[in-house]
A and B are shown apart, each in its own frame.
Chain A
Amino acid sequence: MARLKLKEHAINREWCKGCGICIHFCPKQVLELDSMEKVVAARPEDCICCKLCELRCPDLAIEVLTDQDEKNE
């Protein structure tokens, strides 16, 4: 399987409630809360596209877009 390449973290700020689950369980500490208590990708360059944030998000507010996805579509 080809390694996934990060395009961007699509974060829906309207839906995010800032619970911090994605931030805490990110294996690479990519995510942070901003001053509005919404999640932002502070260090996207460290992201390994494991998509655990996307899987656990109770608000369905984060999506890890990768290049692999684009080819699949």
Chain B
Amino acid sequence: MSVKDYLRERYFPHMWCPGCGHGTVLNSLLRAVEALGLNKNDIVMTSGIGCSARISGYVDFHSLHTIHGRALTFATGVKFSKPELKLLVPMGDGDALAIGGNHFIHAARRNIDMTAIVMNNRIYGMTGGQFSPLSGLGKKATTAPYLTIDNDFDVVELSRAAGASFVARTTTYHALEAVDLLKRAIDHKGFSVVEILSQCPTHFGRKNKEGDAVNMLELYKANTAKIGSKALKENPALLARGIFVDENRPEYCEEYEKIIQRATGGKK
């Protein structure tokens, strides 16, 4: 199968702005699914609200475009009733960690088998460029004309502390790396988080003088480094990329199955 076979081509060209990183995330995700040879009937994608959430409309999997911040809760419901399905849950930064912040940490805590993809563009793009909990200090946004005073979350540390058993980070510049990390995350049994830094040239880039999409990708190239690399050791100010957590821990649906067995005495 080619990547296009996983697309709903009738909805293209997509609604994302020219140069939006979310398209690259879609591109990488489809390549990961294709490389794993997954059947599209075995995949369910749930998404919430926002630019990022529109991704579920473009893929030819089972898809649920749900309510703001609740992509993981719907995914939990699907996974619980049909544990044989693969759950892909792409979310924006605000969707995942502001509106859906509690759902995010509790899904991670349960270690339920699904892949959460945080498409982090550090802004609410669809509603006009309000700052999000991942914008960071001293950034300009529609709702912060005199710069933000809010600290940001570190998605990797937050996911690790909440109990996710696979945590990785990459950017849309590092597309090959993104494909590889997504493959490993989808294959991982348990709650996996992949944070992909994704450029929003329309809002975040323009307000923060980061230039166009090309320039924002150059910044990802310059400001990030692989875990364990010499560059990161010499300059710890760089943002680390790669796999931060990869552990095997009891998975929620399997544990629940054991409870069913125990309660019914094995005769279901």
Contacts and interface: CB of A to CB of B under 8 A. Distances in A.
Interface of A: 14-15, 17-21, 24-25, 52, 55-61
A56 B199 CA distance: 12
A57 B13 CA distance: 12
A19 B31 contact: no
Interface residues of B, number: 30
B175 A60 contact: no
B60 interface: no
Nearest 10 interchain pairs by C-beta: A58-B23, A19-B19, A17-B18, A55-B175, A19-B18, A24-B214, A15-B13, A58-B24, A56-B175, A19-B213
Interface of B: 3-4, 7, 12-14, 16-24, 26-28, 30-31, 172-173, 175-176, 179, 201, 212-214, 217
Contacts of B212: 19-20
Contact of B19 (A20, A52, A60, A61): A20
Given A17-B19, A20-B214, A21-B19, A58 B12 contact: no
B205 to A, nearest CB: 12
Contacts of B175: 52, 55-56
Contact of B27 (A20, A25, A60): A60
Contacts of B173: 56
27 contacts: A14-B12, A14-B13, A15-B13, A17-B18, A18-B18, A19-B18, A19-B212, A19-B214, A20-B214, A21-B214, A24-B214, A52-B175, A55-B27, A55-B31, A55-B179, A56-B172, A57-B23, A57-B27, A58-B19, A58-B21, A58-B23, A58-B24, A58-B27, A58-B213, A60-B7, A60-B12, A60-B23
B13 A58 contact: no
A25 B19 contact: no
Contact of B12 (A15, A18, A19, A57): A15
A62 B190 CA distance: 35
Contacts of B26: 58, 60
Contacts of A55: 27-28, 31, 175-176, 179
Contacts of A17: 13, 17-19
